[in-house]
């Protein structure tokens, strides 16, 4: 293998469709996803570029990247963030950290797509070297490899050693393995208390209002407008906000083959009560975004009813798993999701800040990232302690 080089493309469509197909096959979100992001009028938040890795004349990998001015609360250790927030009242730019990311702003997992059989470690080193040069040119102080799964850790740990990055735990993904062949099989696999709560929520929701479910492809602009209005309601209620979607993003996504829209309408009036944007890519179904009409009240149990119909659809199309993203952990854990570990790898151009960030984040865990995860961690610790106590009592009575 010759010395690798990286060429930057400003748009996903400037990268050959064959290279996309070979490096981002299903179940990864491939060229179609990055096209939708680029056509979604998100440039006021993200500036996209694609590193095409070349070995001589051969193109062997794609590294999707984006630039973003990240709120300091999301990237800095708490004490540093607090100080910078205070200083930001005088110098507003200190409230944000300009960052060059590897990955996608709206995907659960970061990916650098490499043609099978090529040397992944060498590819990642070439990408990091190109990132550092690009960051210097654009005056971006921080580089982050965003939300990479455990399968990528051996190569990224080596990269961290050779190129001086530090790892930090990220918000975990969530997924449900679809056991059996139906929604009833999913229910049967849940632990009894969780199964009872879900059935009760579904029953109470149906008693509160009757809804009709449908799954559609390529909905009309009128339907997309209805969905975007509900998405706005849900976005405003979210605790963690990373991306702010646009009507153009919904239009661009609706044009792509993997996209499905689950719609729940009031049976009497036909008014849209809730929706879920779903993707089907290979054997993986992805619950990407939702929107709900909160004027219907909590008694409508809209989230649980979306979940039921999303599962029924996923089973009907033969999916083997359903991914559900990185927020709302408490309810997702109660619905049987497992947590998927993800890791960020970071490098700050300022050596002193790099060392401070690395030291301050070395012991960060899930419980420090999210209140739902903290509660789940405490319950797990209590349950483990209870099991240990029970085992000890049983052992003494034998």
Instruction: Walk along the chain (398 residues) in steps of 10 and give the mean pLDDT of each run.
Output: 88 96 96 95 92 96 94 62 60 75 92 96 97 97 96 97 96 96 97 97 97 98 97 81 84 97 97 98 96 96 98 98 92 96 95 90 86 79 47 42
Strand partners, 61: 53, 114
Q: Tell me, what's the pLDDT at 385?
A: 44
Cβ count near 208 (within 10 Å): 15
Query: Which CATH architecture is the domain 5-172+341-364 placed in?
Result: 3-Layer(aba) Sandwich (3.40)
Instruction: Give, in degrees to the nearest 5, the angle at Cα 325 between 298 and 80.
Output: 100
Q: Is the peptide bond before 293 cis (omega within 30 degrees of 0)?
A: no
Instruction: Give, in degrees to the nearest 5, the angle at Cα 308 between 303 and 311.
Output: 120
Global confidence as pTM = 0.89
Q: Tell me, what's the pLDDT at 393?
A: 39
Are 5-172+341-364 and 174-339 the same fold in CATH? yes
Q: Tell me, what's the pLDDT at 236?
A: 84
Beta-carbon contacts of 206 under 8 Å, excluding residues fewer than 6 positions away, are 305
Q: Tell me, what's the pLDDT at 75?
A: 58
Dist CA 144 CA 128 (whole Å): 10
CA torsion sign, 202 to 207 to 211 to 213? positive
Q: Tell me, what's the pLDDT at 343?
A: 96
**Domain segments of the chain: what residues?**
5-172+341-364, 174-339
Nearest to 48 by CA among 61, 29, 63: 63
User: What's the topology of domain 174-339?
Assistant: Aminopeptidase (3.40.630)
State residue 274 phi and psi, 5-degree precision: -165, 155
């Amino acid at each position: 293998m010759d010395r690798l080089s990286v060429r930057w493309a400003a748009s996903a469509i400037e990268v050959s469709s064959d290279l996309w197909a070979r490096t981002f096959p299903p179940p990864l979100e491939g060229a179609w996803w990055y096209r939708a992001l680029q056509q979604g009028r998100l440039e006021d938040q993200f500036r996209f570029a694609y590193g095409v890795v070349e070995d001589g004349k051969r193109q062997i990998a794609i590294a999707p990247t984006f630039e973003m001015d990240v709120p300091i609360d999301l990237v800095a250790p708490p004490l540093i963030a607090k100080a910078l927030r205070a200083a930001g009242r005088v110098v507003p730019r200190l409230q944000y950290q300009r960052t060059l990311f590897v990955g996608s702003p709206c995907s659960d997992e970061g990916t650098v797509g490499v043609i099978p059989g090529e040397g992944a470690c060498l590819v990642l080193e070439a990408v990091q070297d190109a990132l550092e040069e690009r960051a210097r040119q654009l005056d971006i102080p921080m580089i982050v490899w965003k939300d990479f799964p455990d399968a990528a850790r051996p190569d990224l740990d080596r990269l961290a050693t050779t190129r001086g990055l530090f790892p930090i735990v990220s918000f975990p993904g969530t997924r449900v393995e679809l056991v059996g062949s139906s929604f009833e099989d999913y229910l049967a696999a849940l632990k009894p208390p969780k199964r009872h709560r879900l059935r009760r929520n579904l029953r109470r929701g149906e008693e509160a209002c009757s809804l009709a479910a449908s799954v559609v492809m390529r909905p009309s602009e009128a339907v997309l407008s209805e969905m975007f209005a509900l998405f706005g309601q849900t976005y405003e209620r979210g605790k963690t906000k990373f991306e702010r979607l646009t009507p153009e993003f919904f239009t661009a996504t609706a044009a792509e083959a993997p996209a499905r829209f689950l719609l729940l309408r009031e049976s009497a009036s036909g008014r849209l009560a809730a929706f879920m944007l779903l993707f089907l890519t290979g054997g993986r179904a992805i619950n990407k975004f939702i929107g709900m009409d909160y004027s219907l009240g909590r008694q409508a149990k809209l989230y649980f009813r979306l979940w039921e119909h999303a599962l029924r659809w996923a089973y009907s199309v033969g999916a083997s798993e359903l991914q559900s993203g990185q927020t709302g952990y408490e309810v997702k854990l109660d619905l049987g999701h497992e947590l998927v570990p993800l890791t960020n790898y970071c490098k700050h151009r300022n050596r002193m800040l790099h060392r401070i960030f690395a030291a301050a984040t070395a012991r960060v865990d899930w419980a420090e990232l999210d209140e739902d995860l903290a509660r789940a961690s405490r319950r797990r610790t209590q349950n483990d302690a209870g099991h240990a106590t029970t085992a000890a009592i049983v052992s003494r009575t034998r």
